[in-house]
Amino acid sequence: MSLPLIIAYGGGLNSTAMLVGLRQRDIRPDLILFADTGAERPETYAHVHQISAITQLWWNLEIEVVRSTYKGQPEGLDDECARKSMLPSLAYGGRKGCSMKHKVHPQQKRLKQWMKQRGFSAATKAIGYDANEGHRAINKQQSEIAKGMIEVFWYPLVEWQWSRADCAREVAAAGLPVPGKSACYMCPASKRSEVLALRRDHPALFAKALEIEQLAHTTNRVKRGLGGEGNLWADWVTHEDNSPWLDLEPVHVPCGCID
C-alpha cells in the first residue's frame, strides 16, 4: 500500500482477526490505535495488553492507547456520565455520540498528529467490520481529519469475506485467545443476560452503572434507564428471578463501536 496503514483496534474478535489476516498476508501496519473509553470490561483491557505483546513480536509495534479528555485530563465515558448526571447517548436514542467522542475523535486527534510529524496528507485506516457488516461500510469511504488531511477507510474482513465465525476460527488457528464481546460495561446496547452477567462477574462495575443510572434521574423527565425509556437496569435486577420476564430481550440500536 502506498499510504501508511493505521489500524483501528477495538479489543474484540473482529479487530484481532484483522491483525491475524494482515500477518498472513505479510502486511505490516504503521500504527495501531486502541481508543480506550475508560469504561471497558477488565477482560478487554487484559486482551489488549496481551495482543499488544503479540504485535510487538510480529512487527515491533505496540498497540497505542488513546483517550478522550476533559480540561486536559483523560476522562472515561462513565466519568463523563457521572459528571453530567446523564446516561450514554444511546439510552436517549442517539446512535453514535459515545462512539464518536470516545472512539473516533481520540483516534483522529492522534492520527492527525502522527501524520503531521511524518508529512503525510492521507492515510489508510483499517476497520474491522466483518463480511456480514458490509452494509456499514457502504457510506463510509473516507473522512477529513484536518484541513488537507484525510483518512481513507479499508475494510479487510469484508474484502476477505471473513464472517464472525471465520474470525474466531482464524484467531484460534493463530494460537491467540478468542476474545469475548468488546463493549463498555454500562453500554445501553447490553442485553438483560449480559447485565446480569456483569452483576455476577464484576459487581463493583455493576454498582457503578446503577449509580450512573440513578444520577441521571435528576435530569430525566421520563423514566429512562440504561436500557432506554422505561427500562432501568435496577428494575431488571429486581426481576432477576422472573425467568419468563427475563427471556424478553429489549430491541436495541447497535452502539456503532468497532471491536
Do 155 and 208 have their domain in common?
A: no
**Does 133 share its domain with 238?**
no
Model confidence pTM above 0.85: yes
Contacts of 93 (CB under 8 A, 6+ apart): 228, 253
Which pLDDT band, with edges at 50, 70 and 90, does 256 fall under?
low
pLDDT digits 0-9 by tens, 55-67: 999 999 999 999 9
In a domain, 16, yes or no: yes
Same domain, 108 and 59: yes
Measured from the Cβ of residue 64, the count of other Cβ atoms closer than 10 Å reads: 16
166 and 230 share one domain:
no
For position 41, what pLDDT does the model report? Answer: 94
Indicate whether 252 belongs to any domain.
no
CA distance 32 to 67: 14
pLDDT the model gives residue 220: 64
Query: Does 138 lie in the same domain as 201?
Result: no
Residue 139: its pLDDT value, please?
67
Is the pLDDT score of 254 beyond 70?
Answer: no
Closest to 34 measured CA to CA, from 113, 138, 117, 111: 111
Total domains in the chain come to: 2
Residue 133: pLDDT band by 50, 70, 90 thresholds?
A: confident
- Domain at 94, CATH number: 3.40.50.620
DSSP structural state of residue 114: H
Structural domain for 144, as ranges: 5-173
For residue 253, what pLDDT is reported? Answer: 43
Cα-based distances in Å from 209 to 2, 40, 77, 186:
45, 12, 11, 6
Establish if 237 belongs to a structural domain.
Answer: yes
**Whether residue 211 sits in one domain with residue 140:** no
Look at residue 236 and tell me if it is in a domain.
yes
What's the rounded Cα separation, in Å, for the pair 239 and 233? 10
